[in-house]
Structure 1
Amino acid sequence: MAGVEVRVATRDDLEALTALLQRWGSDDDPDEKVVRYRERLATNLENATHHIVVAVVDDAVAGYAAAQDYGPALDQDRSIARMHDLWVAPVARGRGVGTALFEAVRDWAQREARIGMLQWQASDVAIDFYRTLGLEAEDASQPRADFALEVHLPGRDD
Structure 2
Amino acid sequence: MGDGDIHGGGSAPSGIVVRQANVDDARALLPLLAEHRGADEPDEKVDRYRERLESLVEHPGHRIVVAEADGAVIGYAAAQDYGPAPHRDWSIARMHDLWVSPAARGRGAGTALFAAIRDWAEQHTRIRVLEWQSLDVAADFYRRLGLAGERVDDGEPRERYELSVHLPTRS
Shorter-normalised TM-score: what interval?
0.7 to 0.9
Any idea what the Cα deviations from partners look like across 1:2-32, whole Å, max 9, x if unmatched? 21100000001122101222344556xxx98
Inter-CA distance 146–38: structure 2 relative to 1 (3 Å threshold): closer
Task: Give the partner amino acid of 2:65.
Answer: V
Cα RMSD, aligned residues only: 2.2
Q: Which has the higher helix share?
A: 1
Of the three residues 139, 153, 157, the one matched with 2:167 is: 153
Query: Following TM superposition, where does structure 1 have runs of at least 4 consecutive aligned residues deviating by more than 6 angstroms?
Result: 31-34
Matches for 1:7-156 after TM superposition, within 5 Å: 7-26=19-38, 36-137=48-149, 139=150, 142-143=152-153, 145-155=159-169
Aligned residues: 151
CA distance in structure 2 between the aligned counterparts of 1:34 and 1:130, rounded to whole angstroms: 23
State TM-score, norm by structure 2.
Answer: 0.80
The gaps in structure 1 that reach 5 residues or longer are none
State TM-score, norm by structure 1.
Answer: 0.86
Q: CA deviation at 1:76?
A: 1.1
Any idea what the Cα deviations from partners look like across 1:119-139, whole Å, max 9, x if unmatched? 0011111111000000012x4
The gaps in structure 2 that reach 5 residues or longer are 1-11
